[in-house]
Structure 1
Amino acid sequence: MPTTDREVRIAHAFLDLARPRPDFDPLELLHDLTSRAAALLPVRCAGITVMNRSGTNAVYVTASDELCLALEEEQTALKEGPCLDSTRSGQPLPVISLTGPPGTTRWPRFAPLARRAGITAVAAVTLRLPHLPRLPLGSLNLMMAGPPHPSGRDLRLAQALADVTSSTLSFRQQPADKNEVLGQLQIALDSRVVIEQAKGILSVRLGVGMDEAFQRLRGHARSRRQKLTELSARIARGDVPEGPLAPTR
């Protein structure tokens, strides 16, 4: 049976998420996971939420685009939503419709906001340590704008992508314990603030949207083997490279 284009893209996704990098940045790895999920699955966008280091709150980390990021922020503000539920419980969510009659939805405040943004269904899989599967770290959240919705096979693929990403976080050199991996996630949480600042600066300076600003920021860092967080910190301080960040191809 010939190999399909999607199968090739899936193989490349696993290789990319598992590849060790000298300029390893946990936030960039998590963003790669959301981008791969959004590209390979029948979803509008994908995001990641994790428990903070104290284990008291579910906090958004990154997303495949600004729409998903905004909806993750709304859930944090409302203290309800699928991302928070999956992260707090450590359990996956099947595909759940957000289009039921008022009063029947699981998230009465979040669902109307999501629908206004064009999101009609959600699902989630867990981020978990491969050697400690009962210790959830967070969730990969999937948002759909309409059918076709992810099948059971699609959700198993999403879980496999999340698992290989968690493996990369915990097995960069040798098996890491829980605190080391939680430390990596805390670095990602801390990094998101400075990256958002850099995106905003570039969006204004280059006259592009936030999604495009992030792609240019990321491409510039990768082409020069810089850590995304370090480049973002420079830009947030006002040190924008001369003639930087050419349009993405």
Structure 2
Amino acid sequence: MTRTHVLTGAGSGIGAALARRLAGRGDRLVLVARNAARAAELEADHPGSATVVADLAAPESLAAAVAAADLPGEVDSVVHAGGIVELGAVADLDVGAWTRQLTVNLVAAAELTRVLLPRLRARRGQVVFINSGAGLSAHPQWTAYAASKHGLKALADGLRGEEAPHGVRVSSIYPGRTATPMQEEVHRQEGAAYDPSRFIEVESVVAAVLVALDATPDAALTDITVRPGPR
């Protein structure tokens, strides 16, 4: 039976690699795109996919965007792979930097999940949050991003208990530093040279996500941490 996955962040990094893997095995994709131009690009990259045009920076738009899209009445999963990062000390980050990261990384994930819950319940589906090592510990310069990811962990943990009676499973994936365009941007913000060979490969994180998605119904893989192997 063909499975249907709603996916954010499919234009880059982990989300893009996951979309390719899911499409390659015949699953149906519903991709969240920030605007119509981006939606057209994603549909071209993934023939047969559907799109929801909505900006995660404006989570108040998500309910209407989902209602306007051609979504099936049941979905097997929603995978939250989209996110942003703005580094800086608490003494330096303005309210805009905090608001942007909390909005995109946390509030949008909560709202999209809420809107899709009836479809997930109908399928006894799954919610997968691609979190971060920053969702488990916070370091200098990463406080705002880590706060958004700690919040995402709280969202997952609370949601898991709430939705268990409806048969909906919830998983969090915590990758360490991964060789993605976001990691390249992090290095730019840090003023450091970027060497992708030093970090986890994207496909390694995708493999962990697929383990969670493909778990048999008797099991729930609640938390998966992916760390760099020995070099």
The two structures share one fold, judged by TM-score above 0.5: no
Larger radius of gyration: 1
What is the TM-score normalised by the length of structure 1? 0.25
